[in-house]
Structures are given as structure tokens and as C-alpha cells.
Amino acid sequence: MITLEDIRNELQKKLQLDQLLRSVEVHADTLDEALADAAVQLQTRVQFLEYEVIERGSDGFMGIAKKPWVITAYETAEAAIAREKKKKKGDASASEEDSEIEVIQDKDAEFFVHYFDGLIMLKIVPPIGNGANVDAKTVISSINTGESYQFKEADIKRIVEKGDTEGQYEQIGTFIQNPVNDAIISVEVTMDEMTCSIIATAPMADGGELQASYIERQLEKQNISVGINEEKINAFVDKPVYGVPYVVAEGIKPVDGHDAYIKYNFETDRSKIRIKESASGQVNFKELNLIQNVVEGQPLAQKMLAERGKSGKTLYGRYLEAKNGKDIPIPLGKNVRLDTDGRTVVATCNGQVLLSGSKINVEPVMEVESVNIKTGNITFLGTVIVKGNVDDGFNVKASGNIEVYGTVGNSHIEADGDIIVSLGIMGRDEGTIKCGRSLWAKFIQNTTVDVEENVIVADGIINSNVTCNKRIILQGKRAAIIGGHLFATEEINAKSIGSNGGGSETILEVGYDPRRKQRLDDLQARQAVVVHELEEINLNMATLENQKKMRKSLPQDKEEALGLLYRQKGELMDETDAIAAEIQEIQDYLRELKIIGKISASGTVYPGVKMYIRDVKEDIRTEIKSVTFYLENGFVRQGKYEPVSDDVKRTPDGYSAN
């Protein structure tokens, strides 16, 4: 029967074991690096660690908002007990309670008999737990017999009864040693001076075996002063390994410090939030919440300091420098400040937190009932919410997002972020929409639209000029494109395109990015100029170098001119590398567009529609149903309708998907 006292004793032992365990919190780019760093700090091996993930790492997006792994690493119970047991061997004052900690596994006692300098020596390692003790007869039977070997059984029994030689060898007899037959060793050190091994030759008849002191003297003769592992040497003496390299010393490897980084307390990955649809595929924008709200004084992010590197040493004591982690500036934007610790970024006002580039901003939110004669035009550094309509002739410009619960008329609407118009846009041939990210609307009619990312419309786009750098998606029951000129870099997807009776001309273009193409042309032109300049500089440098070689020296002005040419060449070479990298990036992007440029209709494409996929034109002359147009081998092909991919269907930033 288990008593209360038994439970108390078990809890006391568990508490004592927990107190032995050490832990450390580690930050690193990968989980493996974090575990390796923890092993160094706890002075143990990775296999003797357990860990808890505090924060999973992330590569971020294009290097932005990169997050390291954060773990708390612990010693295993076995490692902690072994460390404490070793510590108590030299501590006579260790408490009796500590010695009551139970070991994990039982282990029999061990004994070792060796022959050093004419002496027969015995070492006994006591059992662990319920392991068996050493038997004197077994020890005696293992000793060499012959005229050269003499020992007293009484001495052996006395030592065996003691049960523990406390890690030392004790004499139990003598033998006549033949030094010619002694064991010998050679010492080998790797080229990087970080690993030292010995190769031992076994003793022959009546030869002496290797002692720890002898091995250490051989290392000292080789000037090895760092990283000598006494435990390994003692283990070798106990159980010699002959004819193969045996590591006895290792240098201290340098450990580079981790770079500083920013730990964000808000969502920085704008693509994680998905759009919420009803069973019919429609979106109710009134149920969405535009803002990631923060309040004044709220911590937004914290700079995690760079770590200093830990230097190392070679076996010969040569210093190995470690790199310190790189510091980074704290990305302070608008309406934020540093807290008293100098590392925590806090909001200075209520509003929406945004990561613009690399800077943390808090954008205040402005709410108005409507934009009309009472408000005038609105220009606002933040997010604007219009609960009613934007009347004809009035403009709204915001550095954040714009949300309009009603309609937008003949107005100019411009936002650096997203634009959401719940009831639609009626531009009356003069209205314009310019959006730094994506546009959501119920419909767009007689309006000029310029969007950096996606245009997502529920009902239709009618007689409008729409340009976007990604996709135009119509996903409602009446998702029709009728008239107008629509351009999308990646894809146009609707239910129907054109009209049954003809009417207004409908032109669609995909698969081409004019901004990137213009940038490519500019870069290639600049690259040609730089190459020409480098040729002239190399020619001038060669002339001056030849003069210097012939005359042994140059006048001061020409020497300065030569130095200037070297600097100009270095700058132009750096510019050439940067231009080449950007050209490669743009070319890769344009090659990708050959694959993703497409036009799709789940319903009908009517005659009269004109399509351009990259630079290839296609006139639609007959009705075509459930089709996707794409470019293949320089021709526009027709395939099975491809629905919209889920990665487009995200909500505006700050909205919840629930």
C-alpha cells in the first residue's frame, strides 16, 4: 500500500532531480543550429538534450520579417545525474539526500588489471543501482601467471571488498618488466591543429602498458596545451585500443554570435489571411474588419540583441577569432517610439499597425459618414473609412487603406494599401481608382483603374479601363466583362466575356509587364554604357602602368590619377554586378510570365472579343464556353476552363477570415 510518506519521498526526489537540470534559451536561424548552440552553452552533446519550441522560425518573404527559431533546451535526466555524480567524487561534504537520487539503469561493477612499470595494478569501478559486485576469484583468474608475476591474493581480496578504488589504480603485485617490449604510442595532429589522436602499439611479453601520465607527457612534448581530454585518456588506459587512431585532445572551436533581429508582435505576412466566401461564392464586405488595431503604449516589436561570438583555441593555444553577431537598426516609422529599454517599439497613438518596407508604422484611422460638400476632399496619412458614399467630384487619398461602405462616383480614389468598395464604382467616364495593393468592389463601371496587385469584383466590369500587375478576378453570379480594355500581368478570370449583341469593344491583355520590361531596357542600356567606360578605364590604367614600369615611378599627379582609375573601376565593377543580378531577376520573372499568362471564362466568351497574350493577338469569332486561353509555341491555344487558384482569394489586410 502506498502511503503519504512514500508520495512525499518520491516528490522530494523528483524535486531534487529537477534542481539538477540546467536549461538555456537559444535563438538561431534553424532548429539544428539552435540545438548545436545549446549543446555548446550547456557543455554537453546534442543527444543529451531535450527541447521545447518557444517560437517557430520563418524565412520571411524576400528576406523581410525573417524570424529565427527560439527554443528552450534542457539537459536530459541521465546527463544531469552523471554530471552531479562526477562532481560529488571530489566533494566530501555532499549531502546524504543528494546521494539518494535514483539512477536510471542498473550496471554491474567493473575491474581493470594492467601492468605499469613493473607493477601489477587493479582498478575497480563500483556497481550502479542493483548491479553485481566484483568477485575476487574473477580478478585473480585474469592476472598473468608465470615466474615473472607475483601477487598476494589477500591484497586483491582486500581491495575487492572495499569495492571502489575511487578512479585510481592500486598495486596488487609485481612483475619483471622487459622495457624493450613496452607498449609505445605515436601522436598525430590534424592540419587545422584542432584534433589530436594517438596510435598505440600493444606490448609484447613482459612489456609494460601505457599509463595516463605517460600519454600526457607525450602530448606535452608535442606542445599540446589545450583541449586534453583526461576522461578519454583514462578510458584508453582502462580499455586500450591498439593500431587505430584514438582521439585524446580537441581544440576549442569558435562559435559565431547570432545577428540581431526584430521580433514582431503582429502579423507581418500579409498573404496568410484568406477571403471569406458564402456558399454561393459571394463576399459580404460589410462583415469584414479592415484594421489590425493597436492602442497607445502597446508593444509592437522588440529588437533581439546580437550575440557576441565565443572565441576558440587550437591544441597549441593559438587564438581562433569568432565573429560577433551583426547589429541592425530598429525600424521606427510613423507614430511609434522606443520604450525605456531602448529595444521595444511601442505605439504612440491608437490605430493600425503596418509594416511598410522594413519600418513599423501605426496608421491612425479616420472615419467619416460620407465624402461630400461637408467634408471636401480628403487627404490623410492613414486609413480612411467612409460609412456612406463618395459623391461625384470629391476625392479621397490615403497612405493606408480606404474602405467605402456605399458607392464611389465620378471621383479620384487613391490609396497606398487596399481599397474596398462595398456597393460598386460608377466613374461616369472620368472617375479613377489608383491602388498600391489590391482592389475589391461589387462592380466597376466607366472607370479607369490602376492597381498594383489584384482586382477582385463580384458582379461585373463594364466599359472600364483596368490595369493590374497580377490578376483580374470576377467571382460572383453575374461575373461579366462587357466592353473596355483590361490588362493583367498574370490572369483574367470571369464568368462571361463580351456581350451577345456585340456593342462596346472588349479588349483583354495578359502575360506582359510593361514596367518590368521598361526597367529591363534601362538596365541593359546602362550596362552597355558601363562596359564602355570600363574599357576606357582599363586602357588608361594599362598606359599608366606601362609608364610606371618603364620609369620605375610616376609623377604625383599621374600616381593620383592611377589611384582614381582603380577606385572608379571598383565602383563600376560593383555596379556591373548589381545590374547583372537585377537583369537576371527580371528575365527570370518574364520567362515565368510565359507560363502563367492566361484568360479564362467559366461561362461564355462572345464573338468580337479581342485578346492579347503577350504579343500574340486572338480575335474571337464564335461563342466559346468554359475555356482557358493560353500561349503555347507562339500561338494562342484553348483548353479546359481553369478555376481561380486559392492563393488569390485573400481578404484585405487586417480582416479576419472568421
List pLDDT tens digits, range 251-288: 999 999 999 999 998 877 654 444 444 555 554 343 33
How confident is the model over 453-498, as pLDDT tens digits? 999 999 999 999 999 988 999 988 889 999 999 999 889 999 999 9
48: which DSSP letter? G
- One domain, residues 620 and 482: yes
Mean pLDDT of the region 92-120: 69
Are 129 and 162 within one domain?
yes
Question: In this structure, is residue 508 part of a structural domain?
Answer: yes
The alpha carbon of 183 is separated from its chain's Cα centroid by a whole number of angstroms, namely: 53
Domain end point (choices 250, 280, 305): 250
Residue 301: exposed, middle, or buried by beta-carbon count in 10 A (0-12, 13-18, 19+)? buried
**Which DSSP string do the residues of 113-140 spell out, in sequence order?**
EEEETTEEEEEEE--BTTPPPPPHHHHH
Residue 141 scores a pLDDT above 80 = yes
pLDDT at 24 over 60: yes
Of 623, 417, 628, the residue nearest 511 (C-alpha): 628
Domain final position from 204, 228, 250: 250
CA dihedral sign of residues 99, 103, 106, 109:
negative
pLDDT of 9: 60
Decide which of 100, 123, 151 is a domain's last residue. Answer: 100
Residue 439 sits in the same domain as residue 574: no
Task: Please report which confidence band the pLDDT of residue 3 belongs to, taking 50, 70 and 90 as the band edges.
Answer: low
Most confident of 263-272, 326-335, 396-405, 431-440: 431-440
Indicate if 136 and 50 belong to the same structural domain: no
80 pLDDT tier (thresholds 50, 70, 90): low
Which helix (H) or strand (E) element contains residue 17? Answer: helix 4-20
Residue 369 located in a structural domain: yes
Query: 427 and 484 share a domain?
Result: yes
Name the band, by pLDDT with cuts 50, 70 and 90, for residue 16: low
**pLDDT tens, position by position, 174-205:** 999 999 999 999 999 999 999 999 999 999 98
Domain that holds residue 543: 516-593
**pLDDT for 445 beyond 80:** yes
Q: Is the pLDDT of residue 63 over 50?
A: no
CA 445 to chain centre: 45
| 311: CB partners within 8 A, 6+ apart | 254, 319, 320, 321, 322
Half-sphere exposure of 598 (CA within 13 A, CB side): 21
Q: Is residue 351 situated within a structural domain?
A: no
Tell me the β-bridge partners of 53. Answer: 71
Judged against a pLDDT cut of 50, whether residue 581 lies above it is answered with yes
Q: Please indicate, yes or no, whether residues 199 and 54 belong to a single structural domain of this protein.
A: no
- Asked if residue 384 belongs to a domain, the reply is yes
Mean pLDDT value of segment 129-142 = 87
Can you read off the three cell numbers belonging to residue 304?
533581439
Q: Is 313 inside a domain boundary?
A: no
pLDDT value for 302: 93
Q: Does residue 485 share a domain with residue 458? A: yes
Mean residue pLDDT across the chain: 83
Q: Is 478 exposed, middle or buried (0-12, 13-18, 19+ CB in 10 A)?
A: exposed
Q: At what angle are helices 230-238 and 212-221 packed, to 10 degrees?
A: 130
pTM (whole model) above 0.85? no
Residues 568, 527 share a domain: yes
**pLDDT tier at 2, thresholds 50, 70, 90:** low
For residue 433, count CB atoms less than 10 angstroms from its CB and return exposed for 0-12, middle for 13-18, buried for 19 or more: buried
- CA separation for the pair 283, 270 (Å, rounded): 19
Query: What's the rounded mean pLDDT across residues 600-607?
Result: 94
**Which pLDDT band holds residue 246 (cuts at 50, 70, 90)?**
very high
Are 448 and 434 contacting, i.e. CB atoms less than 8 angstroms apart? Answer: no
Which is more confident, 446 or 490? 446
Q: Which residues contact 539 (CB under 8 A, 6 or more apart)?
A: none
CA 343 from centroid of its chain's CA atoms: 21
Rounded to whole angstroms, how far apart are CA atoms 361 and 383? 12
Residue 558 has pLDDT above 80, yes or no: yes
As to burial, measured by CB atoms within 10 angstroms (0-12 exposed, 13-18 middle, 19+ buried), residue 610 is middle
> What is the pLDDT, as a whole number, of residue 477?
83
In a domain, 349, yes or no: no
Pair (502, 643) in one structural domain: yes
Report if residue 546 sits inside a domain. Answer: yes
From 128-132, 421-425, 497-501, 595-599, the region with the lowest mean pLDDT: 595-599
Percent of all residues in the chain with a pLDDT value above 70, rounded to a whole number:
84
Read out DSSP for 414-476? EESS-EEESS-EEEEEEEEEEESS-EEEEEEEEEEEEESS-EEEEEEEEEEEEEESSEEEE-S
- State the first-to-last Cα distance of the chain, in angstroms, to the nearest integer: 54
> How many distinct structural domains can be found in the chain?
5
Q: Do 11 and 95 have their domain in common? A: yes
Helix (H, G, I), strand (E, B) or coil at 241: coil
Residue 115 lies in a domain: yes
What is the pLDDT, as a whole number, of residue 60?
Answer: 57
Q: What is the DSSP string of 606-647?
A: -TT-EEEETTEEEE--S-EEEEEEEEETTEEEEEE--PPPGG
DSSP state of 87: H
Tell me the C-alpha distance between 241 and 231, whole Å. 15
Same domain flag for 461 and 397: yes
Beta bridge partners of 456: 440, 473
Strand pairing category for 439-451 and 616-619: unpaired
**What is residue 273's predicted lDDT score, i.e. its pLDDT?**
41
Read off the pLDDT band of 84 (50, 70, 90).
low
- 371 with 452, same domain: the answer is yes
